[in-house]
Each structure stands twice: as C-alpha cells, then as structure tokens.
Amino acid sequence: MALIEIKVPDIGDFSDVSVIELLVKPGDSVKKEQSLITVESDKASMEIPCSASGVIRELKVKLGDKVHEGSVLLMLETSSEHSSSSSSEPTSSIGAPSTPKSIPGASQVMSPETKDGSLAKIRVEVKIPDIGDFKDVSVIELLAKTGDRIEVDQSLITIESDKASMEIPSSHAGVLVELKVKIGDKVNIGDLLAVLESSERVNQETSVPSPPGVSPQALLESPALSTPSAPGAPAAFADPSSSPGLPNKALASPGSSPEVAPSLPLHQPAHNLTANGKIPHASPSVRKFARELAVPLDELKGSGPKGRITHEDVQSFTRSVMLGNAATKAQQIKTGLSQGGSGSGVGSGAALGLIPWPVVDFAKFGPIERKPMSRIKKISGANLHRNWVMIPHVTNHDDADITELEAFRVLTNKENEKSGVKVTMLAFLIKACVACLKKFPEFNSSLDGEDLVYKSYYNIGFAADTPNGLMVPVLKNADSKGVLQISQEMAELAKKARDGKLSPAEMTGATFTISSLGGIGGRYFNPIINAPEVSILGVCKSSTQPVWNGKEFAPRLILPLSLSWDHRVIDGASAARFNAYLGQILSDFRRVLL
Ligand code: COA
C-alpha cells in the first residue's frame, strides 16, 4: 500500500487552465489512465488522466481552480509499492499533449492575377497541422464559410475523436476561397483543409508545404516546435492514444439555428446545434455517452459550469424520456405532437402503439362537403393534442355562490352605463384567480425540465370563441388592474381576437388561463391545460339553485367551476383548496383585499 500524489502531467502550452469538471471523488477506485478532471482554456479542453490505479483518498483541486503541469490533483492509495516520484512525474504516456507545432500547415500557389511578386494576391493552401497522434479524426463543425475574411490563427473547423476535440486554426490570413472538408470527413495531418486568397507579401519561408511526412512524435519532442502562436497549429491537445484525452469546448458556430424538419432522422445526437447556433457544450466523453444512447445533446440544458452538459444531465434526460416525462423533438414529430405543421392533423397512431385511425369513405353513406381546417384550428388543434397527451390532467369540479357578487356586478354596470364599459363575471373571475394564484403559487408556475419556474407576474389568458376558431388573448399584469380596467381591456382583446387582429405579444406570456362558457351554457367540463401553464379554470353558466342555509333551502346563484391541473406539479388537495378559496372570494369579494 502506498499513498502517492497524482499530478497534472505535461499539458503542453496550457498553463493556469481552469478546472471545469471533477470526474471522480474521494473513495472512488480508479484505473490507470481513467480521466480525473477536465480542464479548459479558451481554445480547447482536455481530460486529465490518472497515472496509476488505486483508491482516491483526497482531492486536492476543486471547480474553478487553476492548474498547470505539476499541480497536485489528488492523493491516491495504490495497492502495490509505487514510488511517489515516478507517479507524479508526468510522462508522455499519460496525457502529454502534442503542443502546438510550428508546422506552417500551408503551401502557396500564385494566383493567376498576380502581377507583382512583392505584394501579390496568392492562393494559400491551408493544411491540417500536427495534431499529435490523432488519426482519421472526424470534422464535426465548420467554423468559416466561403467568402469569409480569415485571420491568422482563426479557427476554421472543429475536429473530434472519441476522447478529444480541437479547433483547427488557419495558418494564414485571407479570404476563404474554398473549404476542402465537410462535416463528417476524416482528416489527418497534412490533409488539405482550405484554400485562401491572401494579399500577404510573398515569402519563400512560408511557401514551404506542410510536411505530412514528419513524424508527429518527432515534432512533439522538439522544444522548438512548441511555439504557441505558431501559425497552422492547433491549440495544445492531448495525445489520444496515450491519454483519456480532451473534451470539447463549446464553440460559436456560423450556422443558424436549425429548424427541425419532419424529415429529420430520429436523432443526430452529437452534432446538432443548439437554438442559438452553437455546438452543445459537453466533453468528448459526455458526447460519446450521448451518442451511445442516441441522446440529442442540443435538446439538453447543461447543469455544469457555463451550461456545460454533464454525464448526469444525459442520464437524467434519458430517465425523463424513458418515464415519459419528456420527449425529444424527433419523438414529438414522429408522434405528431409538435406544434403546427403536420402535427395538427390526425396522426396514424402507429407511433403511439395504437391501432390506425379509421379510414372511412364518408360519401358512401350520404352527401358530404370537404372543407380545409382554418389555420387557427390547425395550430390550436396541434397544441391541444400535445397538451392533452403530454400533461396528466385531473379536473376538480366545484360550485361558488355568486349571489351577492352578481348583484354587485349588475349595480356596477348600472353605475358605469355611460362609460360604455360592461363588466361580466369573467372580469371578477380574473381578479379572484389572481388572489388564488398568489395564495397557491404552484398554480402560477411552469415545469422546465426537472425545475419548477415560479412566476411573480400574473398574466391571465382567456379563451375566446372566434369565427376562425379558439384563440387565447392574454390580459397582462392582471394583479395591478381593477375590475373595470380588466373588463375594458378584455373587451378590446376579445374584439381583436374575433377580427383576427391579435398580435403575437397579445397571445403569449400567460401564467394561467380561464375558459368561460358562462355566456353560452353547460354545467361542468374538463378544460385542457394550455402548456407550459399548469392549470386552467373552466367556468359554466350560473343558475339559481336551492341551497340549505342551516334552517331552510334558499335560492342562491351558483357558478359551476372546473379546475384542471397538471398532476406532475399539483396534487388533489391543493386543487381542492384552490377551488374552495376561489369559492370563498366569489361569495364575498372583499376577501380579494386580504
Ligand atoms: N353565467 C351566466 N351568465 C354569464 C356568465 C356566467 N358564468 N358569464 C357570462 N355571462 C353572461 C354575460 O353576463 C353576458 O350577459 P348579457 O348579454 O346579458 O350581458 C353574456 O353571458 C355574454 O357574455 P360574453 O359576451 O360571453 O362575455 P364574457 O366576458 O363572459 O366572455 C369571452 C367573453 C370572449 C370569453 C366569450 O365571449 C367567449 O368567447 N367565450 C367562449 C370561450 C370558449 O370558447 N371556451 C371554450 C374553450 S375550449
């Protein structure tokens, strides 16, 4: 048994790089070359491997620490005698990276339009520089496009092996004439990467073609080749054959956010871009893990530093999908649950494991007329379908005694007759619901992954029946408005909805929705929650009912309430309390002031 220090090995020109991930903890048994931590500079990141097998007794670094070659990472208890000096000495077999090399990585070709030998437009071939022992590494990202003005050392592509990734910089400045690789290509040292048109001074020294024949190892061992700013050389990277390697650094991509088209294959796990056009921020080992599970990394939210996606994030996403709490975009498209597009129609049912939708020749049974669904119906249909299938709905029905409130409403309308503002029960309901949402904040929340987002604003959507179909205008900041103002704004929004003039801003941002069928009829119904909200109140027509007051049956005006709620967020007792409190407020509206 021996207790040895495990130190950061030779990591090339990296110095004072940040520890961004701890991959092990005290008590863990680790194998030689198992990754211990991830470090990251501005151009690259790498996993630092262990130089021996044993049990970790103490971690000597924490997240955010800066480390360099020789920094003690941890104390390891090894089973065999192990000299401390040998274990702590960085060796090339444990992650010594191939440091940036001064291979010019370029050859020049005079362009036809060259007239002057001293300052001429030249075509420069940029080649893959020394990338250590990397062989046949995949191009995962193109960072420049034809016509781009490229600076020396500007990254052109990102390549990735299963253990490491790196940006390949340009050896020259100029305008990018052609990128000679595409995503998915395999590259090696000396491969032609790009052709630039450069206005550089023609210089014999720089016109030396890159030496693909030179052994990377020879270059690695030559101190003269470790110039960090050497053009054509990538940022320092670990030798993948001898090291657990380097994770990827998230990179800005010139690509735009990809629209998910229904024709997409199920997943492109590793290389999808995030909504803001970036490669998801994750280490190569996490990428590999995601690839194995076909997890679309671009759909994950990283919980690590700077939003880095961790191993646990991939596990937890996979768990959520398996439990049916989340669906990948591809799954949504396949099952027809995505918003709009093909999702609005009737799906085959096959993806849900259901028998197919019946195909009937209706004309066989009588005359028919076929009309296309309105755009609004298609969109709202797709949303309702998704919400109905994906949210575990429960509905609590209750009654509220609104006898006094209705008398007050009638009086208010009389008093405000001249103003033109008409107060309906819905305006009181909006005000009363805000009071309930304040008392039961989870009803004003949204699910975001495994987090609940509680909102401190109260924007109430209300379902409006329009000639084109159902629309849900949103009355913003209802908590700061009186019933008269609410009535006025509601009337304006409802008119806009019927005229098809609602702006997107007037239909978004709701925290809770009310669907009132009070002007039409009915008793109770199960309203469908408007995701990402977690509850919705359905209201039907009030009617006079005999209510026992302890002595006798008295005629009371009763309003039927139906509260649907997301059982992932809210439980039945809370829903019953919400309805009871709403009933109390509606029967004595002074409670809204409490
Ligand atoms: N009980 C009894 N009467 C009610 C009532 C209730 N709960 N709610 C409204 N009324 C009365 C109003 O007082 C009004 O009466 P009046 O004409 O005698 O003054 C009448 O019904 C019509 O009211 P309405 O114009 O519908 O106003 P509103 O403020 O209640 O509702 C809208 C406004 C826009 C929400 C409503 O017009 C609408 O479109 N409702 C349909 C919502 C829907 O489709 N929901 C289903 C979604 S799946």
What DSSP line would sit under 216-239, residue for residue? HHHHHH-GGG--TT-TTPPSPEE-
CA pair distance 218, 495, nearest whole angstrom: 77
Closest atom of ligand 1 to 487 CA is 29
3-class DSSP assignment, residue 434: helix
> What is residue 368's predicted lDDT score, i.e. its pLDDT?
96
**Tokens linked to 385:** 């379908």
> What is residue 400's predicted lDDT score, i.e. its pLDDT?
98
Closest atom of ligand 1 to 542 CA is 1
Query: Is the pLDDT score of 119 beyond 60?
Result: no
pLDDT confidence of 94, banded at 50, 70, 90? very low
Which of 387, 514, 516 best tests ligand 1's pocket when mutated (most atoms within 8 Å of CB)?
516
User: When comparing pLDDT for 201 and 499, which is higher?
Assistant: 499
CA pair distance 330, 29, nearest whole angstrom: 38
State pLDDT tens for residues 132-144.
667 888 888 888 8
Residue with tokens 């054959």: 241
Expressed in angstroms and rounded, the spacing between residue 478 Cα and the centre of ligand 1 is 19
CA pair distance 191, 541, nearest whole angstrom: 75
Which of 383, 424, 489, 490 best tests ligand 1's pocket when mutated (most atoms within 8 Å of CB)?
424
**Tokens linked to 113:** 């339009």
Distance of CA 405 to the CA centre of its chain: 46
Query: Is the pLDDT score of 239 beyond 90?
Result: no
Query: Is the pLDDT score of 431 beyond 80?
Result: yes
> What is residue 12's predicted lDDT score, i.e. its pLDDT?
67
Distance of CA 5 to the CA centre of its chain: 39
Residue pair 292/261 in contact by the 8 Å Cβ criterion = no
Query: Is the pLDDT score of 216 beyond 50?
Result: no
In this structure, the residue with its CA closest to atom 16 of ligand 1 is 519
Residue with tokens 């401390």: 84
Which one of 148-152, 164-168, 344-348, 426-430 scores highest in mean pLDDT? Answer: 426-430
3-class DSSP assignment, residue 65: coil
Weakest-pLDDT range from 166-180, 344-358, 511-525, 565-579: 344-358
Closest atom of ligand 1 to 515 CA is 45
Expressed in angstroms and rounded, the spacing between residue 497 Cα and the centre of ligand 1 is 14
| Mean pLDDT of the region 24-40 | 88
> What is residue 121's predicted lDDT score, i.e. its pLDDT?
73
Residue 244's beta-bridge partner residues?
Answer: none
Kindly give the pairing relationship between strand 192-198 and strand 174-179. antiparallel
Residue pair 531/511 in contact by the 8 Å Cβ criterion = no
Query: Is the pLDDT score of 56 beyond 90?
Result: yes
Residues with CB under 6 A from ligand 1: 424-426, 462-465, 470, 494, 515-519, 539, 541-542, 559
Expressed in angstroms and rounded, the spacing between residue 371 Cα and the centre of ligand 1 is 28
**Closest among 246, 210, 227 to 40, alpha carbons compared:** 246
Expressed in angstroms and rounded, the spacing between residue 520 Cα and the centre of ligand 1 is 7
- Contacting residues for 282 by C-beta, under 8 A, at least 6 apart: 247, 248, 250, 290, 297, 302, 308, 309, 310
Q: Considering 311, 393, 397, 567, which one is annotated as catalytic?
A: 567
CA pair distance 386, 448, nearest whole angstrom: 16
Task: Give Cα separations from 505 to 188, 450, 473, 474, 588 (angstroms).
Answer: 51, 27, 9, 9, 34
Query: Is the pLDDT score of 236 beyond 50?
Result: no
pLDDT confidence of 168, banded at 50, 70, 90? confident
pTM above 0.75, yes or no: no
pLDDT confidence of 246, banded at 50, 70, 90? very low
Closest atom of ligand 1 to 520 CA is 21
State pLDDT tens for residues 361-420.
999 999 999 999 888 888 889 999 999 999 999 999 999 999 999 999 999 999 999 998
Expressed in angstroms and rounded, the spacing between residue 462 Cα and the centre of ligand 1 is 11
Expressed in angstroms and rounded, the spacing between residue 278 Cα and the centre of ligand 1 is 47
Q: Which residues of 393-417 are buried (b: 16+ CB within 10 A; e: fewer)?
A: bbbbebbbbbbebbeebeebeeeee
In this structure, the residue with its CA closest to atom 6 of ligand 1 is 518
Closest atom of ligand 1 to 470 CA is 44
| Mean pLDDT of the region 249-266 | 29
pLDDT confidence of 111, banded at 50, 70, 90? very low
Residue with tokens 């059982």: 567
Query: Is the pLDDT score of 217 beyond 60?
Result: no
The dihedral of CA 516, 518, 521, 526: what is its sign? positive
Query: Is the pLDDT score of 511 beyond 90?
Result: yes
Residue 78's beta-bridge partner residues?
Answer: 2
Amino acid identity of residue 469, one-letter, is: G
Expressed in angstroms and rounded, the spacing between residue 374 Cα and the centre of ligand 1 is 23
Known catalytic residue at 82: no
Amino acid identity of residue 472, one-letter, is: V
Residue pair 462/506 in contact by the 8 Å Cβ criterion = no
Cα angle 163, 169, 254; round to 5: 85
Which of 426, 472, 517, 539 best tests ligand 1's pocket when mutated (most atoms within 8 Å of CB)?
426
Task: Give Cα separations from 34 to 37, 47, 199, 338, 350 (angstroms).
Answer: 10, 9, 47, 41, 44
